[in-house]
Amino acid sequence: MKYSGWNILKQALTGKKEWAPVWHKPEPKSHYETIVIGGGGHGLATAYYLTTEYGMKNIAVLEKSHLGSGNVGRNTTIIRSNYLLPGNEPFYELSMKLWENLEQTLNYNAMVSQRGVVNLFHSDAQRDSFVRRGNAMCIAGADAVLLDERGIRNLCPFLDYENSRFPIKGGLLQPRGGTVRHDAVAWGYARGSDSLGVDIIENCEVTGFIIKEGRCVGVETARGNISANKIAVCVAGSSGRLMGKAGIRLPIESHVLQAFVSEGLKPILPNVITFGAGHFYISQSDKGGLVFGGDIDGYNTYAQRGNLPIVEDVCAAGVAIMPMIGRSRLLRMWGGLVDMSMDGSPFIDKTRIEGLYFNGGWCYGGFKATPASGFCYAHLLAKDEPHPVAAEFRLDRFKRGHMIDEKGAGAQPNLH
């Protein structure tokens, strides 16, 4: 049934409850044209765009747990396309454009809310590097506004301008940046894919790859072997673990990124605010919770939970920049496994094994990339060549020396 206010009203008035399942629970078939491994945002978007944009059929998405159980439901919901490097910015801007039409595309309200994303700067040197970034954004067709201190005061009068350790000198605002209801992205893509015939198979962990004569022809799963012409891995924090089963070592480490939400509060925070000097970013959800986060814990882990030093440091940064939030309470903290790459940028590429494709290395920035990641991965799978805006996301780039290192931190994943 189409989702609309009218249909909600009709259901309510007639007292009927006829909403269909958002997605079905099919049994896996023995063969598919394409298997996408990973029922998170990226995997589901890939399946969706494979169908809608590239007319592919006979597709399955295999998810080891329940749909959307990974980072798509654990992030701080921020979307933005404020990247610096030419290998990145056009890709994220495509993503932003896809976000902007997501509700109409999917007939599902994922609450894309373009509230604006502000990155604060605290020195002339930081301003200069934000000018470089802002220009890179504008050149790529995105939007950016440079604000001086007065501009920031107007936008966010509640920041600490008087007593802060790092004085606020201004900020780079992307008005089109904002937040999205994260779970709804997975559900919306699932509903869209499901309605177009994609088999979404939950609780179906891939335990191995079937490789014959150098070609990947299928997967071993908890629910039996499934063959396919193309196998598309899209498993974020589990990338290393899974690709290891195909004998492929990756330029990726798995880390934990913690995120935090406060108790519900009446609206106080209009934008997304990023405080680089303290590794802190915050927004307020439609429900009223302050959603915030900071740095990754910094050590390799698959444990999906973090430790206290980061928790305390993130809260300190929050109170330092916004002293008024101190008397609210932290309600929940959680950790997501992030696939930190060696230059902080992702991969959407073929592998050396024919028929096996890889999408990963999204670091802590995968959520905002969801639509474009699916779009470009679908392009690669359908045409066997990279989408122009994702052409630099190659696995061999370190061998060639073509890093996409936004921060200039070098080959150390926990610094990106």
Partner 1 sequence: MIINHPLLGPRDASEFIYLGDASLIDRPDWNSENAAQQFYEYLYLRDNPAGTIRELWFHEYGDRSWLVVTRNTLTHEIVNVELARDIDREEKHSR
Partner 2 sequence: MKQKNRTSGGLIERNKPLVFHFNNLRYEGFLGDTVASALIANNQRLVARSFKYHRPRGIFSAGPEEPNALVQLRLGAHLEPNTRATVTELFDGLIAKSQNHLGSLEFDFLEINNLLSPLLSAGFYYKTFMWPKSFWEKIYEPIIRASAGLGCLSNEPDPDIYDKGFLHCDVLVIGGGPAGLAAALIAGRSGVRTILADEDFLIGGRLNAETFTINGMKGSDWAVQTAAELEHLPNVRLLTRTTVYGAFDHGVYGAVERCTDHLASSNGRPRQVLWRIYSKRTIVSTGATERPIAFSNNDRPGIMLAGSVRTYLNRWAVTPGKRVAIFTNNDDGWRTANDLRGKDINVIAVIDTRDKPPPFKYSDTKVFMGSHILDVIGHKGVTALKLPHGKSIEADCIAVAGGWNPNVHLTCHHRGRPTWCKDISAFIPGEELPTGMTVAGAANGTLALSAALKQGSDAGSTAARDTGHNVVAQEVLNAEDEPSEISPFWHVEENKKRAWIDMQNDVTVQDIEMAYMEGFRSVEHVKRYTTLSMATDQGKTANTVAVAVLAELTGKTIPQTGVTIYRPPYTPVSISALAGRQRGNQFRPTQLCPSHTWATEQNAVFVEAGLWKRAQFFPKKEENHWRQSVNREVLQTRKSVGVCDVTTLGKFDVQGTDALKFLNYIYANDLTTLAVGKVRYGLMLREDGLIMDDGTIARLAKNHYITTSTTANAAQVLRHMEFCHQCLWPNLNVHIISVTEQWGQFAISGPNSRHLLQKIVDREIDISNHSFPYMACSEITICNGIPARLFRISFSGELGYEIAIPARYGDALIRRLMSAGEEFDIVPYGTEALSIMRIEKGHPAGAELNGQTTARDLGMQRLVAKNKDFIGNILSKRPELNRKDGLALVGFIPIDRRDKLSAGAHFFSLNKDIITNNDEGWMTSVAISPNLGHSIGLGLIKRGNDRIGETVKAANLLQKQYVKVEIVTPYFIDPEGERLRA
Pairing of strands 31-37, 224-233: parallel
Would you say 155 or 265 has its CB closer to partner 2? 265
> Counting contacts by CB under 8 A, is residue 67 touching partner 2?
yes
Instruction: Show the binding pattern over residues 217-246: x = contacts partner 2 (CB under 8 A), - = does not.
Output: ------------------------------
d(CA 174, CA 370): 19
- Distance separating alpha carbons of residues 341 and 360, to the nearest angstrom: 8
The residue among 311 and 382 lying less far from partner 1, judged by its C-beta, is 311
Tell which one of 311, 354, 382, 414 touches partner 2 (CB under 8 A): 311
Q: CA-CA distance, 376 to 371, in Å (whole number)?
A: 9
Q: Burial level of 100, CB count in 10 A (0-12/13-18/19+)? A: middle
Q: Does 361 bind partner 1 (CB under 8 A)?
A: no
| Span from 49-57, 116-124, 362-370, 375-383 in contact with partner 2 (CB under 8 A) | 116-124
Instruction: Please choose, from the candidates 242, 180, 177, the residue with its C-alpha nearest in 3D space to the C-alpha of residue 209.
Output: 242
The Cα angle at residue 155 between residues 312 and 185, in degrees rounded to 5 = 65
CA angle 43, 302, 380 (to 5 degrees): 25
Characterize 341-355 residue by residue with b for buried, 16 or more Cβ atoms within 10 angstroms of its Cβ, and e for exposed.
bbbbbbbbbbbebeb
Choose one: 109-117, 275-283, 382-390, 407-415; the region binding partner 1 (CB under 8 A): 407-415
The residue (of 203 and 304) whose beta carbon lies closer to partner 1 is 304
4 forms part of the interface with partner 2 (CB under 8 A): yes
Amino acid letter, residue 131 = V
Distance of CA 97 to the CA centre of its chain: 15
Please, what is the minimum distance in Å from the beta carbon of residue 320 to partner 1? 18
- 65 lies in the binding site for partner 1 (CB under 8 A): no
DSSP E strand boundaries for 115-167: 117-121, 145-148
Distance CA 216, CA 227 (A): 9
Q: Which of residues 235-254 bind partner 1 (CB under 8 A)?
A: 239-241, 244, 249-254
- Span interacting with partner 2, options 111-119, 207-215, 216-224, 235-243, rule CB under 8 A: 111-119
Rounded CA-CA distance 372/38 in Å is: 16
Task: By CB under 8 A, tell whether 23 contacts partner 2.
Answer: yes
Give me the amino acid identity at 44.
L
Site for partner 1 in 128-157 (CB under 8 A): none
Provide the minimum distance between the beta carbon of 362 and partner 1 in the complex, in angstroms, as a whole number: 15
> Is 151 a binder of partner 2 (CB under 8 A)?
no
What is the total count of residues that contact partner 1 (CB under 8 A)?
A: 25
Query: Quick one: which H or E segment has residue 93?
Result: helix 89-100
Q: Residues 271 to 300: which contact partner 1 by CB under 8 A?
A: 298-300
- 197, 224, 244, 408: which one contacts partner 2 (CB under 8 A)? 408
* Segment interacting with partner 2 (CB under 8 A) among 43-51, 53-61, 180-188, 240-248: 180-188
244 binds, among partner 2, partner 1, none (CB under 5 to 8 A by kind): partner 1
Q: Which amino acid is at 101?
A: N
CA 267 to chain CA centroid, Å, is 25
- Shortest separation between residue 388's beta carbon and partner 2, angstroms: 10
Beta bridge partners of 220: 208, 225
Choose, by CB under 8 A, the member of 167, 197, 224, 244 that binds partner 2.
167
Residue 382-401 contact track with partner 1, rule CB under 8 A, x = bound: ----------------xx--
Q: Which residues bind to partner 1, rule: CB under 8 A?
A: 239-241, 244, 249-254, 298-303, 307, 309, 342, 398-399, 411-414
